[in-house]
A and B are shown apart, each in its own frame.
Chain A
Amino acid sequence: MKILVPVKRVVDYNVKVRVKSDQTGVELSGVKMAMNPFDEIAVEEAVRLKEKGVVTEIIAVSVGITASQETIRTALAMGADRGILVETEASPEPLAVAKILKALADREQPGLIILGKQAIDDDMNATGQMLAALLGWPQGTFASKVDIEDGTATVKREVDGGLETVALTMPAIITADLRLNEPRYASLPNIMKARKKPIDVVKPADLGVDPAPRLSTLKVVEPPKRQAGKKVKSVAELVDKLRNEAKVI
């Protein structure tokens, strides 16, 4: 069984992002980029499935600028077998990415697609769900545990108030949550091997998809500065402020 793992190039989670002075977005020039952490979890899960013998080939896909190849290389160093870069200058929205992934799924016929539940840059949390809808496949989102047996994927989902277990008939879509696994660090020999693994480059038009955005961003601003706390003199005053000012009790 083949498995498809989409990986997104985002600002490294350690970087404190800055809003551009013209408020059109966040500053990306000279900023350290890395693989979306949830996608790393997805890659790790795919590699573990391959190590268990459930999966025969892992294909890492990225949609974005040429530099997204580095993100694919990271996935290859973790254990993916080959990569596909869908090269586009535009920053595609979830629907465009989902359409691109659908076209690739039609072409590659994977038994499973594991995605990060969301990207840490735009926090859309949409691509996996849209892809499931476009393909007409079942979806197990926010997965914290995945078991594959006899054409069925059993997924433990992290939902409000607990864990929900669903059984999906494959082919299926899974989106990875934080607790699914702890991604490995690439070893040096695997980094070296990754240099030789193939990456195909295609354009969205080759897949019949127009990645032009449907949304326009009006402005991006810094979150408000955190205000200093207030000191109260007594419990009574605290209770009063909580009730009448903060209105939380």
Chain B
Amino acid sequence: MDFSLTTDQQNIRDTILKHCSRFGDDYWLARDREAIFPHDFYKSLVDGGWLGIAIPAEFGGSGLGVTEATVMMQAIAESGAGMTGASSVHIPVFSLQTVVLFGTEAQKARMLPPVVRGEDQVCFAVTEPNAGLNTTEIKTRAERRDGAYVVNGEKIWISTAQVANKMLLLARTTPLDQVKRKADGLSLFYTDLDRSRIDVRLIHKMGRHAVDSNMLFIENLIVPEEDRIGPEGEGFRLILHGLNPERILIGAEAVGIGRVAIARAARYARERIVFNRPIGMNQGIAHPLAKCWAQLEAANLMVMKAATLYDRGEECGVEANAGKYLAGEYAFEACHTAMLTLGGMGYAQEYHVERYLRECLIPRTAPVSPHMILNFLAEKVLGLPKSY
């Protein structure tokens, strides 16, 4: 049992925090107000080779593990970039793993290096309005025609689709009533986001305004067969491989935003003088902050345990889910406590904690709700009967 980062991991954390210090609080506040994608931040990470952290070296990356990617994503959120900074690079860092694991050599050589070099920007088009977390029920169809697929359907909550030119797309290639198991008959594609066939509509949302979320209306999109990742009908299983790493990364990002909120609140509590003393001297202020710190660090241990298990090739579903649950809940409490610590000022945008509060609802809710995680833990760990 070793609870410390390796030299490499510590180095990644320090370098990312330093790298991100160029993009200060005012930068993120402005991006959020203007709802403009942080292109220069994204480019700086491309230039630093960071998008390739988990891409194999032969395709332009550095070939490190999920643990290192987790350390990196957490440091981005913790720098004050929050979920805006993390989400801007989350997809290339995480979602391309399905291509790394299941793409052919030719596909990897064609698809991965342009993303690492910043020439291609990718979004992840899986979720649909009529399926929710019941992914096998997605309605988007890909029908074979003349050596290609014709895709029709709708997607929702597709982040960065306004700026992406590529997408990972899950669609049903065999209708649900013709497959043995519901998980069969779905296929995964990595293809062009062809705006002549896809209408991308922005969803106006609560926070993280700089990183867009969208509805996609796909009409007769032609996808060449060579853009299909893995065998036809196996797409759902390929996606499943990425679920645990995604929970781990999101959990780590949540801890990051919780940490920056608490650090900011603690600084305010040390400096803000009311009734002739710093407000942090009052235990009504100090104890909730201390509690949040303890909760976040405990959540982080669970997240990092899951990452370590994953990189060792061991089963990590319980830990990844529990870690994301704890991180999401405690990050919310941390951001909320930070806002209460700042009192009225906490409600003002220029003090930044209200932005963290709006953003931390993302890892609390996505990619899977706390309710579904508790269902999963109740069933898998405690052996309780399934309720749905």
Contacts and interface: CB of A to CB of B under 8 A. Distances in A.
Interface of A: 34, 70, 73, 77, 185-192, 195
Contacts of B62: 188-189, 192
B18 A191 contact: no
4 shortest interchain CB distances as A-B pairs: A188-B49, A189-B49, A187-B48, A187-B49
B7 A70 contact: yes
A191 B11 contact: yes
20 contacts: A34-B14, A70-B7, A70-B11, A185-B18, A185-B22, A185-B48, A186-B15, A186-B48, A187-B47, A187-B50, A188-B49, A188-B50, A188-B52, A188-B53, A188-B62, A189-B49, A189-B52, A190-B49, A191-B11, A191-B15
Interface of B: 7-8, 11-12, 14-15, 18-19, 22, 47-50, 52-53, 62
B49 A73 contact: no
A121 B49 CA distance: 32
Contacts of B8: 191, 195
B19 A185 contact: yes
Nearest to B11: A191
Contacts of A34: 14
A113 B346 CA distance: 51
Contacts of A190: 49
A96 to B, nearest CB: 28
Contacts of A188: 12, 15, 48-50, 52-53, 62
A97 B22 CA distance: 34
A185 B11 contact: no
Nearest to B72: A188
B77 to A, nearest CB: 18
Nearest to A186: B15
Contacts of B15: 77, 185-186, 188, 191
Nearest to A69: B7
Nearest to B20: A185
A14 to B, nearest CB: 10
Given A185-B19, A187-B47, A188-B48, 15 more contacts: A70-B7, A77-B11, A185-B18, A185-B48, A186-B15, A186-B48, A187-B48, A188-B50, A188-B52, A188-B53, A188-B62, A189-B49, A189-B62, A190-B49, A191-B11
Nearest to A184: B48
Contacts of A191: 8, 11-12, 15
Nearest to A192: B62
B362 to A, nearest CB: 25
Contacts of B50: 187-188
A164 B18 CA distance: 33
Contacts of B22: 185
Contacts of A73: 7, 11
Contacts of A187: 47-50
A70 B7 CA distance: 8
A60 B73 CA distance: 30
A186 B49 CA distance: 10
A237 to B, nearest CB: 25
A63 B344 CA distance: 51
Contacts of B48: 185-188
Contacts of A192: 62
A35 B53 CA distance: 24
B51 to A, nearest CB: 9
Nearest to B57: A192
A89 B362 CA distance: 49
A73 B12 CA distance: 13
A73 B6 CA distance: 14
A35 to B, nearest CB: 11
Nearest to B60: A189
Nearest to B48: A187
A31 to B, nearest CB: 14
A188 B93 CA distance: 13
B153 to A, nearest CB: 37
A186 B62 CA distance: 14
A77 B48 CA distance: 12
A34 B50 CA distance: 21
Contacts of A185: 15, 18-19, 22, 48
Nearest to B53: A188
Contacts of B11: 70, 73, 77, 191
A154 B52 CA distance: 40
Nearest to A182: B22
A237 B48 CA distance: 58
B328 to A, nearest CB: 28
A196 to B, nearest CB: 12
A191 B8 CA distance: 8
A192 B19 CA distance: 16
Contacts of A195: 8
B67 to A, nearest CB: 14
A34 B13 CA distance: 13
A228 B53 CA distance: 50
Nearest to A189: B49
Contacts of A77: 11, 15
